[in-house]
Amino acid sequence: MSDTRTVSFTQMKDGTAADYHLLEEMEKPYLGLTASRIIDELRRQGEVSLEGYKITRLDHALQSATRAKHDRADTDWIVAALLHDIGDGLAPQNHDRFSAEVIRPFVRWDVAWVVEHHGIFQMLYYGRHYGWDENARDQFKDHPCFDSCAEFCERWDQSSFDPDYTQDPLDTFIPLVEEVFARKAYDPEILREGYVSELTT
């Protein structure tokens, strides 16, 4: 049976402390299903091909994550590799920033930064074919995460469009997604602002 309790207000500015405590309580089950919704979105990406590519969006995600796993990357990096294009469905023109916002509350700050900027870093490989600045990423050359983003793109992203690559199945990565999204959002001990981690061990 669904919970029929509701707040007293029709404008947020009129809400009481009791209203907002009620909303906080009622939101918890929905927040607890974040990992499930993300996994569902990944599955949907398996139903749609990357137009013109030889593989689906899900295949690309799995290949990227499998490469990260084979490189002995840690959980944050593997999940980032898996979800770096999760925004493609709703925000194809700025999928990198959209994807970063999905993971930002739950992973190290440098991991979120890399996902946020991987789109501009990827232009190194194809920008010239469109008359774009393939070195646009150089604007970040003094950023502490520059090398991490360049390595992420080179090792795990740009190389993961291969129909003959043996990727791990989605089920391999579900426990890692569940682990990450079960974390307390914006926990300073998780975010580790200013710390730059290694992609591989």
- Looking at residue 45, its pLDDT comes to 93
- Looking at residue 89, its pLDDT comes to 85
Each residue's pLDDT tens digit, 81-100: 999 999 988 888 899 999 99
Residue 4 has pLDDT above 90, yes or no: no
Each residue's pLDDT tens digit, 116-175: 999 999 999 999 999 999 999 999 999 999 999 999 999 999 999 999 999 999 999 999
Name all domains of the chain by residue range, CATH numbers in brackets: 15-191 (1.10.3210.10)
Share the mean pLDDT of the chain.
Answer: 95
Q: Are 179 and 75 in contact (CB under 8 A)?
A: yes
Q: Are 126 and 157 in contact (CB under 8 A)?
A: no
- Looking at residue 120, its pLDDT comes to 97
- Looking at residue 152, its pLDDT comes to 98
Residue 63 has pLDDT above 80, yes or no: yes
- Looking at residue 49, its pLDDT comes to 62
User: What's the chain's Rg over C-alpha atoms?
Assistant: 19
Count of C-beta atoms within a 10 Å radius of residue 176: 18
Residue 39 has pLDDT above 80, yes or no: yes
